[in-house]
Chains A and B, each alone.
Chain A
Amino acid sequence: MDPVLNSGDTAWMLISTALVILMTIPGVALFYGGLIRRENVLNTLFLSFITFAIVSVLWFVYGYDLAFGADIWGVLGTLTNPFFSGVLESGTLSTYAPTIPTALYAVFQMTFAAITVALISGAIVERMKFSAWLAFVPLWLTAVYIPIAHWVWGGGWLYQMGVLDFAGGMVVHLSSGVAALALVLLVGIRKNAKLLPHHLGYSVIGTGLLWFGWFGFNAGSALGATNLAISAMIVTNTSAAMGMLAWVLMDKLNTGKPTLLGALSGAVAGLATITPAAGYVNVTAAMIIGFVSAVICYYAVSHLKPLIGYDDALDVFGIHGMSGIIGTLAAGVFATPLINSTIKGGLIAGNPTQVGIQLIAIVSVVIYSFGVTYAIGWIINKTIGLRVEEDHEVQGLDLNLHEESGYRLS
């Protein structure tokens, strides 16, 4: 590709960036906000918004450089432009996407970082101190997200091995899902761990915005207005639809009735699972991926979670973590050079070693994200404390932490 600014590509990437912003605020915020007790609705929405704000600032202070700067030993990027100094002024084109400006690539990537951290909040809602979350966001962004983004996308050791992660199966979903698991083990189980959504209508709007925004997430990861973007958009939609249908089927078979929350969960599982494979697979593979994803995630949240006994409030590990694993493996199986000519393809295309690379990446990200998140959580717990006071948790966080009420009758 010629290193010449292409206005079509630039326009599409500006739109994609805005679409991914819509996924976090208000997409994730509303999706999560509808699923908790009414006494915690503002705190839950707030976690997504404040996360977006913190990451938006830190990404340009040092985040982008450390994730996508010149590689140091395959581990981290180089901090050559702190505070993004000179990047906007120079107007250079991105080395990762030669037809769009570096600054546009950076802000597109910022939205990925923001939604990844915001996703984790779903696991610890209704019981974590707001101050502890404020400390967690920059620490996790710096110590977990940025290194993993560098390993996979920024020229790091997994990138050098040829790992396939089109739009963030490992970087976004697996890293946040595993982090959620580590954090809930430290924060502990809620006093009332029943998941009884107080306003499913919010979650419907949130999921709609996620689905819509995911086209920026996955088709935007083609980094241009290309055939690959169109292909990614189609397989993303197909997988989401198949995920929704499969979860509804699971509901029907297991409890006798289809549920709307189940349908939403299946769609999100389908979206998350196709993410790492979105730029590499065809529609048939997307159907299989969406179906398998919903079935496995269904069992993870309805059987595995109660069996192990952790309180992942909104199933961040059960849906995003599992989707990250399934999707990353699926990319290694179904990827084909017929869809994306820059790769050798996966198992079915005659490249079985790709599955091994994908497995190494999954294991590495799981161990790293879990270990470092646990360490961060442990430190915060010993200093600020992770858990709110018991009476605050029982009465709700909105009044006690923010002195606001989501619903006032008079």
Chain B
Amino acid sequence: MKKIITIIRPDKLEDVKQALEDIGCHGMTVKEVKGRGIQLGITESYRGTDYKVDLLPKTQIEIVAKKEDVDSIVDAIVSSAQTGCIGDGKIFISPVEDVIRIRTGERGEKAI
């Protein structure tokens, strides 16, 4: 099993949700987060003075999936969240040791 953490533009959340739903991926946890990439944020101007804003609002989606589903999920996210501009986000994939469904006590892939 794998955990897929993806950071996307907040306005792309609905597109990504729909793309994941289209491939049968329903479970997810969504957080509002702030972050920055290699370009170190953006510059904003207030009353003629420039300010560096280096932590921008982003949306983080966490999905735990079977190993064989990871590629299709990644493809769905990339195709639905991509604008081609700086700030589209990133996807991180890491192994998951176990999953437990609290309601039933089921473990492993059955509990995803």
Contacts and interface: CB of A to CB of B under 8 A. Distances in A.
Interface residues of B, number: 9
A250 interface: yes
Main secondary structure of the interface of A (DSSP, over half): helix
Nearest to A194: B51
A250 B51 contact: no
Main secondary structure of the interface of B (DSSP, over half): strand
Nearest to A35: B46
Interface residues of A, number: 19
A257 B45 CA distance: 9
Contacts of A250: 48
A34 to B, nearest CB: 12
B47 A302 contact: yes
Nearest to A305: B49
A269 to B, nearest CB: 11
Contact of B50 (A255, A298, A315): A255
A196 interface: yes
Contacts of B50: 255
Contact of A306 (B45, B46, B49, B53): B49
A265 B45 contact: no
Nearest to B50: A255
A265 B49 CA distance: 13
B48 A254 contact: yes
B68 interface: no
27 contacts: A194-B51, A195-B49, A195-B51, A196-B44, A196-B46, A196-B51, A196-B53, A197-B46, A250-B48, A251-B45, A254-B48, A255-B45, A255-B50, A257-B45, A259-B46, A259-B47, A261-B46, A261-B47, A262-B48, A298-B48, A301-B47, A301-B48, A301-B49, A302-B47, A302-B48, A306-B49, A315-B47
